[in-house]
């Protein structure tokens, strides 16, 4: 995560920006991952095989305030 001061109205706040998200599947089961950030889904039902690590780089502005991650059995 990277942080920077940003101006919000008349105040300055320190905001953290996520530059990427990593996923790890330490189980013996195949998983499917969906990632939604800023109303965009860079991953949608992406297969994540057993014992695998994968990641997603953030766009230039970061992932925003919230990122929804859904992991299910594939």
User: pLDDT 10s per residue in the chain (74 long)?
Assistant: 556 677 777 777 776 666 778 888 888 888 888 888 777 788 888 888 888 777 787 777 667 666 777 787 87
On whether residue 5 sits in a domain, the answer given is no
On whether residue 13 sits in a domain, the answer given is no
Angstrom CA distances, 56 to 7, 20, 28, 41, 47, stand at: 28, 5, 22, 11, 13
On whether residue 53 sits in a domain, the answer given is yes
pTM above 0.75, yes or no: no
The parent domain of residue 31 ranges over 20-73
Number of domains in the chain: 1
On whether residue 41 sits in a domain, the answer given is yes
On whether residue 10 sits in a domain, the answer given is no
Distance CA 25, CA 8 (A): 38
Asked whether the beta carbons of 20 and 37 are under 8 A apart, the reply is no
């Amino acid at each position: 995560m990277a942080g920077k001061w940003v101006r919000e109205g008349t105040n300055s706040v320190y905001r953290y920006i996520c530059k990427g998200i990593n996923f790890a599947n330490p189980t013996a089961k195949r998983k499917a991952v969906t990632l939604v950030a800023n109303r965009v889904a860079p991953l949608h039902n992406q297969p994540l095989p057993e014992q695998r690590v994968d990641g997603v780089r953030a766009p230039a502005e970061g992932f925003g305030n919230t990122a929804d991650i859904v992991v299910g059995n594939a």
